[in-house]
């Protein structure tokens, strides 16, 4: 479940980046195909493109937030009972040998 949600989250993030980059900073939209009096109606005119990109951005942002919350909930549920303190070594493990009292260096004869 988590893997599927991560894949959806990444796809939504990439789509949102693309939609945001298509918008002009002045807020006029990209104006694809509706510039010079073509017969497109109002769908891809400057205003229509602006509305489409704005709505798409809002929908993708909501999806991004929902997948983020879903991933956070999955993360909380999967970490139950796990603690870093549980993994610390205890004193009952292999005892450490005491160092020798005198250095054991061979003498020359």
Q: Per the structure, how many domains does the chain have?
A: 1
Average pLDDT over residues 5-14: 96
- 84 or 75: which leads in pLDDT: 75
Whether 84 is in a domain gets the answer: no
Q: Is residue 102 part of a domain?
A: no
Whether 49 is covered by a domain: the verdict is: yes
Alpha-carbon distance of 41 to 20, in angstroms, equals 24
**3 falls within a domain:** yes
Nearest Cα residue to 46 out of 61, 24, 64: 24
Distance of CA 36 to the CA centre of its chain: 41
Average pLDDT of every residue of the chain: 75
pLDDT single digits (tens) 21-48: 988 766 455 555 444 444 445 455 666 7
By C-alpha distance, which of 25, 22, 41 is closest to 33? 41
Q: For residue 12, what are the domain limits? A: 1-20+42-77
pTM of the shown model = 0.55
């Amino acid at each position: 479940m988590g893997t599927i949600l991560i894949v959806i989250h990444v796809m939504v993030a990439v789509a949102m980046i693309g939609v945001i980059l298509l918008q002009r900073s002045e807020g006029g939209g990209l104006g694809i195909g509706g510039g010079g009096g073509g017969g497109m109606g109002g769908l891809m005119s400057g205003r229509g493109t602006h509305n489409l990109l704005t709505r798409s951005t809002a929908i993708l942002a909501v999806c991004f937030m929902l997948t983020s919350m879903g991933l956070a909930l999955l993360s909380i549920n999967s970490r139950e009972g796990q603690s870093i303190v549980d993994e610390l070594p205890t004193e009952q493990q292999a005892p450490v040998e005491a160092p020798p009292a005198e250095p054991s260096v061979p003498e020359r004869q």
